[in-house]
Amino acid sequence: MAIILICIIFELLNISSYINSKFFFGKNTLTKQNYYKNANQEDPYELLNIQYLHPYYLSFNLWDTHTINKFNKKNVKIVQLDADGFRKNNSKNNSKKKIVLTGGSVAFGKYASVQENTIATQLNKKFDLNTDNVNSIFWSTHQELIGILKYKNRYDLSVSISLVNDVENFCNKRSSLSSNIYDLPINFYTWSDFIEAAKPKSISSQTFLFTLKTYFASFFKENSQLIKNLNLFSEEEPFKDNCSENFEEIANSFLINQIKMKEIANMRQAKHITIIQPIAFLHKNFTSKSLSKNDKNIIDFYKKVISIIMESEYCKNNCYDMSKLFENTEGKIHLFSEEKNITFGYFYNSFDLLDDGHLYLSDRIGKNIQNILK
């Protein structure tokens, strides 16, 4: 009874919420470094960490008109969303070379300090292209495929910058479901649990105890998150347990979605290419304060997945492996989220880029696009 009372107090007084946001929940430390140059030093991407249920994509950013307009007024110089919830590219020009840029947080430009430092804008400004963002920080290649399918305008080339979300969404969540589906949307099992618990009993396959557990997890959601963050009652290594033998299946699932995007492009008299996004810990010059034995297993896993992808028939002419893009640059590869005081760097965390990373990657992609669209 005392434990329940403590949980209620922590939840109602937002104590757990404060601890989660202050110490765990993807706190953007760039706000303290004058990185965004906005007066209030708030995180301009904070609201984009919230997942909204979307009719097409399942997990998405803001997409209703009222919320988008409110968001845009607050983030005029840094992040602007269009009517569909995709990031605006304000650097439009009259180029007839139309590019559709899809992918996850790298394609979206998460952590870019201004709109101009996103990949889409750089492609327009430096390479005289006309680029539309059809991407989201949450997307796997499954959602990219739907985004390309739903895209209504003519285009010359679709570019997918991805891989990480396909791996992370599947590998870092333990579930009792057995399936041959590997390109899961982010937090799919969480969505599934709550939808199942909300069903009328007549059409639900779940037990009463499962429904009760889900209800308490929802009511005490900040407490539940705090317990996970503190690693209480758990010694699991879900990545290792879920993925130790699934590298081939994930690679093939990724390839199927890329091939389908290429087929859609071909039907529209366009082309499609795949960019394996930069991954910090795959660089030889990467240094980290917290590299564990499990992290080394993850590194080996990513190497196997990328090897299978790049050796495929599809990738002979359509893929560019930029997972180690910064390997030949000067100095060590650091993570800003670990160092917190570095003045120059490409990565914020293992997968997301800082401005220098976005600009360097944009330049490499733009040069490849120029050769493709000659």
Domain with residue 98: its CATH number is 3.40.50.1110
**Cα 72 from Cα 75, distance rounded (Å):** 5
Residue 201 CB neighbour total at 10 angstroms: 8
- Whether 89 and 133 have beta carbons less than 8 Å apart is answered as yes
Q: Convert the pLDDT of each residue in 167-186 to its tens digit.
A: 988 887 655 555 678 888 88
Compute the half-sphere exposure of residue 97: CA atoms within 13 Å on the CB side of its CA.
16
The count of structural domains within the chain is 1
Report which secondary-structure segment, H or E, holds 41. Answer: none
Q: Which two tokens stand for residue 189?
A: 């099992």
Interacting residues of 165 by C-beta distance below 8 A, sequence separation 6+? 104, 138, 139, 140, 141, 186
At 275, list the tokens.
């960019």
Of 66, 113, 118, 124, the C-alpha closest to 87 is: 118
What is the pLDDT of the chain when averaged over all its residues?
83
Host domain of residue 20: 2-372
Q: What percent of the chain has pLDDT over 90?
A: 48
* Secondary structure class of 276 (helix, strand, coil): strand
pLDDT (0 to 100) of residue 212: 55
- Please, which residues bridge with residue 263 across strands? none
Hey, what are 175's tokens?
Answer: 């579930």
Strand partners, 161: 103, 275
pLDDT confidence of residue 354: 94
| Long-range contacts, 289-294 (Cβ 8 Å, 24+) | 289/338, 290/338, 294/237, 294/239, 294/240
Burial of 295 (0-12, 13-18, 19+ CB in 10 A): middle
In our burial notation (b when 16+ CB lie closer than 10 A, e otherwise), range 157-171 reads: bbbbbbbbbbbbbbb
Q: For residue 365, which of 199, 161, 165 has the smallest C-alpha distance?
A: 161
Which pLDDT value is given to residue 161? 98
Give whole-number Cα distances, 237 to 87, 88, 94, 153, 294, in Å.
Answer: 35, 38, 51, 44, 8
Give pLDDT < 70 ranges for the chain: 1-27, 37-41, 173-179, 194, 196-242, 289-294, 338-344
Which residues touch 196 (CB under 8 Å, ≥6 apart)?
204, 205, 206, 210, 214
Structure tokens at 374: 């000659």
Phi, psi of 145, deg, nearest 5? -60, -45
Note the pTM of the prediction, 2 decimals.
0.86
Q: What is the pLDDT of residue 68?
A: 92
